[in-house]
Amino acid sequence: MTFASPAQKKPASAFAAISERLRTAARELEQDFLGKEEVIRLLFVSAVAGEHLVMIGPPGTAKSALARRFASSIDAKYFDYLLTRFTEPNEIFGPVDIQAFREGDYRRRIEGMLPTAEIAFLDEVFKANSAILNSLLSVLNTRRYMHGGHVIEVPLISMFAASNEVPSDDALAAVFDRFLLRVRVDYLDSYHFRGLLQKGASLEAKLATRLAPKPRTTVAASDLETMTRHVAERLQSIEEEFLATFKGLVFQIRSEGVALSDRRVVKLLKLFVASAAFDGRDTVNDADFFVLRHVWNTPEQEEILREIVGPVLDRWYEQHPSDQRVGVTPASLPDLLEELRIIRETLSASESLSDMQLFSQLRNLGDVKAALARMRENPAAERMIGEVDRLLETVFASSRFV
């Protein structure tokens, strides 16, 4: 994936150099994680903005691996833990200092624990008990941790978390709300199957020989702090045209029943500027609205947000065709052509398909068509879209749909 750098006002050289390193580190992660380009971009954008992100998805979709590989590309104090309902505060915030306790002072030994982390990852975060969640809220919201009469200023840049599902318990709503971005991480589309096996086999071979991939490019925590300061400085200079579009999107989102508080609306400005900074741009543009696809509160709201934000993004890329589309999972024409051949043969097989099998193939056709639509500048892709449409017409004209 190539990240856009539109011709705009030239940023300072230090900012440009850090931005380039961030994009290089992101491209290296993309080589290891097929189909996760948008998630990777959001991880970096969140860190630049100093905000938190949670990945939601079924087991086996590389949520934990993504977060840990991202963390390895940041030269920062890192804390990582898998939470369960039996996890104790000692395991997260450090054990009680027995010597100090004997002297009448209640405090924890926090060295190497969450209160000293600059980047943190908590797996299965919503399985934590209330004793941990209460302290976690303060860390996420104010970057402070209290133990006994002591208040620790936590140097946390960003916290990343993962969960198999969105929490339904009201007691967890406050913690979920502190994650500004909610990113759905799902299984790969069918046309990526061959690439999945190739990359997976290569990675498993390296792990078997203890040659797990290590980042070639790292970004210092101080560099992220520089970028965060840049984001803060640029917040006051966002153009009125962009803000007017943002206002329209916010009220459209709210009108569709997606709760978006004023607090989160203000924080989203940081993410827009951070997205521009990640690209090496000094000003925001409509492409940065892609982050709005990830402010849902329930999985059902994902499609609503895509339908609202999609037209704005489409207009931008139509007017700026030289810019790389943000968050698009690249697919090769040969892979799509092979997938189309398999679907055609499956649908035309003599034996009848069950309803579940039929709808699965129709969903695969939809995935193929969506991928081809992002390659319309290629005449071959345009012809294949026509083939997909004709195949869909044939299927829907069958007696099963009459």
257 vs 213, 261, 314, CA distance in Å?
43, 12, 23
> Could you tell me which residues come within 8 angstroms of residue 19 by beta carbon, excluding any fewer than 6 positions away?
11, 227, 277, 278, 279, 280
Q: How far apart are CA 276 and CA 323, in angstroms?
A: 13
Question: What residue type is 218 in one-letter code?
Answer: T
Which helix (H) or strand (E) element contains residue 153? strand 150-153
pLDDT recorded at residue 370: 75
Residue by residue, DSSP assigns 248-305 as HHHHHHHHTT----HHHHHHHHHHHHHHHHHTT-SS--GGGGGGGGG--SSTTHHHHH
pLDDT recorded at residue 334: 74
pTM for the predicted model, two decimal places: 0.79
Q: Are 115 and 94 in contact (CB under 8 A)?
A: yes
Does the residue 308 lie in any domain? yes
Does the residue 74 lie in any domain? yes
Q: Are 283 and 9 in contact (CB under 8 A)?
A: yes
Beta bridge partners of 79: 120
Per-10-residue mean pLDDT for the chain, 402 residues long?
43 82 92 85 96 93 90 94 94 90 85 96 94 93 88 95 90 92 81 60 63 75 93 93 97 96 95 96 94 94 93 86 52 72 75 72 77 69 81 71 50
Q: Is the dihedral of CA 255, 261, 265, 271 positive or negative?
A: negative
Does the residue 60 lie in any domain? yes
Q: What is the chain's Cα-based Rg?
A: 23
Indicate whether 396 and 253 sit together in one domain. Answer: no
Does the residue 111 lie in any domain? yes
pLDDT recorded at residue 5: 43
pLDDT recorded at residue 201: 64
| Tally of domains in the chain | 3
DSSP single-letter state for residue 11: P
Q: How far apart are CA 387 and CA 376, in angstroms?
A: 14
Indicate whether 23 and 137 sit together in one domain. Answer: yes
Residue at which a domain ends, from 319, 344, 373: 319
Indicate whether 127 and 178 sit together in one domain. Answer: yes
Range of the domain at 266: 238-319
pLDDT recorded at residue 7: 41
Does the residue 3 lie in any domain? no
> Residue 100, class by beta-carbon neighbours within 10 Å (0-12 exposed, 13-18 middle, 19+ buried)?
middle
Residue at which a domain ends, from 208, 230, 252: 208
Residue at which a domain ends, from 192, 208, 224: 208
pLDDT recorded at residue 97: 85
3-state helix, strand, coil in the chain (%, to 5): 60, 10, 35
Which helix (H) or strand (E) element contains residue 182? strand 181-184
42 vs 202, 221, 276, 402, CA distance in Å?
26, 17, 12, 44
CATH number at residue 114: 3.40.50.300
> Residue 38, class by beta-carbon neighbours within 10 Å (0-12 exposed, 13-18 middle, 19+ buried)?
buried
Nearest to 44 by CA among 308, 36, 258, 321: 36
Q: Are 238 and 273 in contact (CB under 8 A)?
A: yes
Indicate whether 294 and 383 sit together in one domain. Answer: no
Residue by residue, DSSP assigns 47-81 as HHHT--EEEE--TTSSHHHHHHHHHHTEES-EEEE
Alpha helices in 323-378 (DSSP H): 333-347, 355-373
Indicate whether 391 and 344 sit together in one domain. Answer: yes
How many CB atoms lie under 10 A from the CB of residue 240? 7
